[in-house]
């Protein structure tokens, strides 16, 4: 039997309890193509660039892959009764044990709950009524990453500028393969720009009002990014897009502690810092701890 779910109210976004900064470098293990949606006279598909013409990794691209990969692993842990934390996975039409989440866009019962919340918003109690209901109708992933118009994300991934590597991507050519002959199909040639392996990009993500469950989910996601399990951009099935996070750091301030808040606001320094590997190790130990040791039912906020 899955350990009982953690019950905790949501922290309003107009309160500031803590602030986290995660930093490091994203290193390309393979070539990378994140398309701009445009081509020119040299290639069918240009990579996305910043105002100076250098390739960048959009924060939204990394955030999406980070979340989806973390959620897949989380639901495996949930199914094997390791943790009560779970994710609606946004587009899944079937959720476990009649659960609902208003972050879902495919689950029928969740869509009905969305309509119910919309009616609450229009009523006399309005936002207050919705806020009281939200903890019951959000999965743990949506409590961290946000759910549509009902609940904003606690985490922000910034765009990643290039630090090292050639600012001029190479053009790679490809052909379509005829399924019967296994040879190149007639008239199906294409090409795309690719940032070469070895390039590095500056990584930063910030987060606010994190509780234990949030920290555990972030530890799970970062564990995959550090170990090189994530692939970004197009043609990942053809060997492109492998990345890893190197030189990772975690820093935070507890804003409800007066001395820490003053130091942070005046000096822009974080009182607490550690290697990202230590942050990951601490979070995973709590996530994977058996219920009888307190891991599945811990409710304390950091």
Structure tokens at 204: 């930063």
pLDDT digits (tens, 9 = 90+) for 41-69: 455 456 788 888 899 999 999 999 999 99
Average pLDDT, the chain: 84
Range in 38-52, 82-96, 152-166, 218-232 with the lowest mean pLDDT: 38-52
- Structural domain boundaries of the chain? 18-82+151-293, 88-138
Distance CA 260, CA 121 (A): 37
Tally of CB atoms within 10 A around 169: 21
pLDDT digits (tens, 9 = 90+) for 249-286: 999 999 999 999 999 999 999 999 999 999 999 999 99
Backbone angles phi, psi at 291, to 5 degrees: -60, -35
pTM recorded for the entire structure: 0.86
pLDDT given for residue 297 in this prediction: 45
Residue 188 burial (10 A CB sphere; 0-12, 13-18, 19+): exposed
pLDDT given for residue 290 in this prediction: 62
**Nearest to residue 220, comparing CAs of 231, 230, 233, 209?**
230
pLDDT given for residue 242 in this prediction: 94
pLDDT digits (tens, 9 = 90+) for 12-38: 878 889 999 999 999 999 988 876 555
pLDDT given for residue 44 in this prediction: 46
- At residue 173 the predicted structure's pLDDT band, cuts being 50, 70 and 90, is low
Q: In this prediction, what percent of the chain has a pLDDT beyond 90? A: 61
Distance CA 220, CA 222 (A): 6
Tally of CB atoms within 10 A around 47: 22
Distance CA 47, CA 254 (A): 39
Structure tokens at 294: 């307190």
Provide the pairing of β-strand 18-28 with 200-208. Answer: antiparallel
């Amino acid at each position: 039997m899955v350990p009982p779910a953690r019950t905790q109210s949501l922290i309003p976004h107009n309160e500031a309890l803590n602030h986290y900064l995660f930093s490091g470098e994203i290193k390309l293990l393979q070539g990378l193509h994140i398309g701009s949606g445009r081509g020119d006279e040299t290639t069918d598909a240009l990579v996305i660039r910043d105002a100076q013409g250098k390739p960048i990794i959009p924060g939204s691209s990394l955030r999406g892959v980070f979340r989806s990969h973390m959620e897949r692993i989380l639901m495996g842990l949930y199914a094997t009764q390791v943790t009560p934390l779970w994710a609606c996975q946004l587009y899944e039409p079937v959720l476990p044990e009649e659960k609902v989440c208003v972050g879902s866009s495919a689950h029928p019962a969740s869509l009905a709950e969305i309509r119910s919340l919309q009616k609450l918003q229009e009523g006399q109690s309005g936002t207050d009524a919705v806020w009281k209901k939200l903890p019951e109708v959000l999965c743990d992933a949506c409590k961290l990453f946000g759910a549509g118009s009902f609940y904003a994300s606690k985490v922000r991934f910034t765009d990643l500028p290039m630090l090292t590597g050639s600012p001029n991507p190479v053009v790679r050519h490809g052909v379509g393969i005829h399924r019967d002959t296994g040879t190149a199909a007639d008239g199906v040639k294409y090409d795309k720009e690719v940032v070469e392996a070895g390039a590095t990009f500056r990584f930063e993500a910030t987060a606010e009002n994190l509780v234990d469950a949030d920290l555990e989910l972030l530890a799970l996601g970062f564990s995959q990014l550090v170990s090189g399990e994530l692939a970004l951009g197009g043609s990942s099935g053809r060997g492109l897009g492998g990345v890893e996070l190197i030189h990772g750091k975690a820093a935070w301030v507890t804003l409800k502690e007066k001395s820490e808040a003053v130091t942070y606001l005046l000096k822009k320094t974080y009182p607490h810092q550690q290697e990202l590997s230590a942050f990951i190790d601490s979070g995973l130990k709590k996530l994977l701890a058996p219920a009888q040791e307190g891991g599945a039912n811990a409710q304390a906020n950091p």
